[in-house]
Amino acid sequence: MFSEAMGAPDLLNPERRMLRAMQLSEPDRSWDLESLLAACEWTDQAVAVGAGHGLQNHGFVAVDERVLREISLDLGGDDAHKNGLLEHRIWSWMNDHEDEHPPTMKGLQEAFERHEAGPGVGLLKQLGVSIEGGLLVASNPDEITRAIAERTDFLTSLPALDDTLDQSLLNHFSARKNLIKVVERTVRHWSLTAEGQHVSSDDLQETVVISELTPELLQGEAWKSAEFRAFDVTLEAATPRTGRSHPMQALIERVRSIFLEMGFSELVDDYVQSAGWNMDALFIPQDHPAREMQDTFYLDQPSSIKLDDDVLQAWKSIHEHGGETGSTGWGGTYSTEVSQRPLLRTHTTVNTIQYLAEHPNEACRVFSVDRVFRKEAIDRTHLPEFHQIEGIIMEEDANLQMLVTTLKTFYTKMGYPEVRVRPAYFPYTEPSLEIEVKWRGKWLELGGAGIFRPEVTEPLGITSPVLAWGMGLERLAMLVLGLDDIRQLYISDLEWLRNQPVL
């Protein structure tokens, strides 16, 4: 412990100043924040609180800390203060009502808006109004008037300290929405201890303490004899609350920068598309179950999207008998009407395929991160609107190995180096792959990939192999953010959003 002979062990400057100021006044004075700030010539209360805390740790100062609860009007309370409490207004209306005695429920519903009439009746019932055959009947009008006046007086008395208020009314208003709010305030008083009184004023001279290293300082000699400010990195500090991107947006940016870095260009396109490009171009048969109304969002407006006759005829021949590809096609009769039905794209492959149709002979690497729509029931792992990470590589020597390497590179850059592919089936690719990533010891399926079939490429005049993939962005977000419910991404849970890592 402290002994007089020891002097003041390494006090910080604010602590020295505060202790000195306290020593200069009566020894048993109790200091409040304002007098302390004035005596030390400070404006920032955090400095005073910090110095007081330090002196307390040294045993030189005693701190008396009390938490006060101050009750004040919240938004709804301000309004009630100006215009009267809801029960007050309804009660006045009931009493003013001359032509119709006693007042009716119907009259109430006409005189007050729905959002007031409902809760208002509840409040009146609690006060003793009953509804009898559509009439509002008060058996104890004086008591009601009194209770309402008491509530009004309570609100008028705010702001006030918790323990000065009637607790049953306080409970009543705490249970109602937005009328009152509680603000907790810590009030401190500081006083010298016997030890604090005995610290020698010689030890309380403020020293020049260097808190920042500058090149000028290091070039001279002064630093050799200077005192350096120590930082206590174990002290609690507030986390700065600044604006930031939503984690989904941050993830999209990261995916983008990875593909850009890998030499891809970004494709952005509309989500209103024709069934022809969304499905027929990809050799998805016209009677495929995924094309049904219960799986795909079709649009009423426009009633159809006009497609080029050449392309319709090419798809017709591919679908009916395989065109020139040697395939047998799907058989049956192909409908150009079905082709021209508008829909919300069910995958972003609808856009890469159109890009290829426009540039059938230019080697390319294209990606997109964009929204798609499927008629899914919302649950822990499904949303009707979600995002896909889509991509294609068209090159003369493109092959399966290149596809797998590209996907592995992407996921490795995302932080998931363990990637495997498994055989899968899509009507538009051969071979077709499923991409899986290892996460917490388990393999998770994140998307599909493959090489476009001739039934897809030939009608569009594409001659080089096209590697293609489409992967779920929300699935990836669940891994990155460690979520087990996909819905968390889109509810505006501010506390959760603030605590998400920077991606």
By CB under 6 A, name the binding residues for ligand PHE. Answer: 347, 349, 426, 429, 448-450, 468-470
Q: Strand pairing of 429-439 and 466-472? A: unpaired
Nearer to ligand PHE, 112 or 428 (CB): 428
In angstroms, the CA 295 to CA 384 distance is 10
Residue 464 beta carbon to ligand PHE: minimum distance, rounded to whole angstroms? 16
Residue 388 beta carbon to ligand PHE: minimum distance, rounded to whole angstroms? 6
Nearer to ligand PHE, 329 or 448 (CB): 448
Residue 398 beta carbon to ligand PHE: minimum distance, rounded to whole angstroms? 13
Residues 6+ apart with CB under 8 A from 150: 169
Residue 364 beta carbon to ligand PHE: minimum distance, rounded to whole angstroms? 15
Residue 126 exposed, middle or buried by CB count within 10 Å (0-12, 13-18, 19+): exposed
- Of the candidates 192, 197, 164, 209, the residue with the CA atom closest to the CA atom of residue 70: 164
In angstroms, the CA 486 to CA 493 distance is 13
**302 preceded by a cis bond (ω within 30 of 0):** yes
In angstroms, the CA 195 to CA 192 distance is 8
Nearer to ligand PHE, 347 or 387 (CB): 347
Nearer to ligand PHE, 151 or 291 (CB): 291
**Which secondary-structure segment (H or E) carries 385?**
strand 385-394
In angstroms, the CA 360 to CA 465 distance is 11
In angstroms, the CA 428 to CA 237 distance is 56
Long-range (24+ apart) CB contacts under 8 A made by 197-204 are 197/23, 197/27, 198/4, 199/7, 199/8, 199/19, 199/23, 199/60, 200/7, 200/8, 201/20, 201/23, 202/7, 203/7, 203/8, 203/11, 203/16, 204/8, 204/11, 204/16, 204/17, 204/19, 204/20, 204/23
Give the residue closest to ligand PHE by C-beta: 470
Contact call for residues 434 and 442 (beta carbons, < 8 A): no
Nearer to ligand PHE, 339 or 349 (CB): 349
Nearer to ligand PHE, 173 or 274 (CB): 274
Nearer to ligand PHE, 121 or 467 (CB): 467
Nearer to ligand PHE, 339 or 388 (CB): 388
Nearer to ligand PHE, 190 or 469 (CB): 469
In angstroms, the CA 251 to CA 414 distance is 10
DSSP bridge pairs for 182: 71
- Of the candidates 229, 224, 235, 226, the residue with the CA atom closest to the CA atom of residue 212: 229
Two structure tokens written together for 57 = 């740790």
Residue 279 beta carbon to ligand PHE: minimum distance, rounded to whole angstroms? 11
Between the two ends of the chain, the Cα-to-Cα distance in Å is 49
In angstroms, the CA 452 to CA 450 distance is 6
Residue 309, CA distances (Å) to 159, 226, 306, 323 in order: 75, 85, 9, 16
Nearer to ligand PHE, 296 or 429 (CB): 429
Nearer to ligand PHE, 73 or 468 (CB): 468
Residue 300 beta carbon to ligand PHE: minimum distance, rounded to whole angstroms? 24
Residue 306 beta carbon to ligand PHE: minimum distance, rounded to whole angstroms? 25
Two structure tokens written together for 104 = 């009716």
Residue 424 beta carbon to ligand PHE: minimum distance, rounded to whole angstroms? 8
Residue 394 beta carbon to ligand PHE: minimum distance, rounded to whole angstroms? 13
Nearer to ligand PHE, 339 or 429 (CB): 429
Residue 430 beta carbon to ligand PHE: minimum distance, rounded to whole angstroms? 10
Contact call for residues 136 and 105 (beta carbons, < 8 A): yes
